[in-house]
Amino acid sequence: MDADTEVLLRLAFDRAPANQANQAIHRVREEVGGESAYATSYEILLPDGNVRAWLLDYQLPRLVDYLESRGAKLPHCGGVFLSVFSGDTLHFIHARDAVALFSQWSGLSFDELRKRYGPR
């Protein structure tokens, strides 16, 4: 596992075996959403290499567009968590934490991310 993958996966607030993904995602939705809201899982399967470049070039534009389109505005990204598959483990990361890391890695502020990748 490369250093960038380790940095990302250290943000995880929970983990589960990947072969129990459906049950684990359901559980985390209920925990994150609480009684009044239903949280949303944004699923990502990490590649074996070049994780930072892949996340910034491929996932970040899609993630920002998704978050902004559904009303989970940056930087808080309310109610959305990432379900990140890496090897045989599923890592749960709050979207706000992942976006903050991607902002740091890319050198783009939240406003710049919204302008560049948000809905038109």
Q: What does the pLDDT average to over 34-56?
A: 88
What was the pLDDT predicted at 78? Answer: 87
Tell whether the model's pLDDT for residue 8 goes beyond 60: yes
Spatial strand order in the sheet of 40-45: 14-17, 89-94, 80-86, 40-45
pLDDT band of 36, cuts 50, 70, 90: low
What was the pLDDT predicted at 7? Answer: 97
**What is the 8-class DSSP label of residue 59?**
I
Q: pTM for the whole thing?
A: 0.94
What was the pLDDT predicted at 82? Answer: 98
- Secondary structure of residue 57 in the 3-state scheme: helix
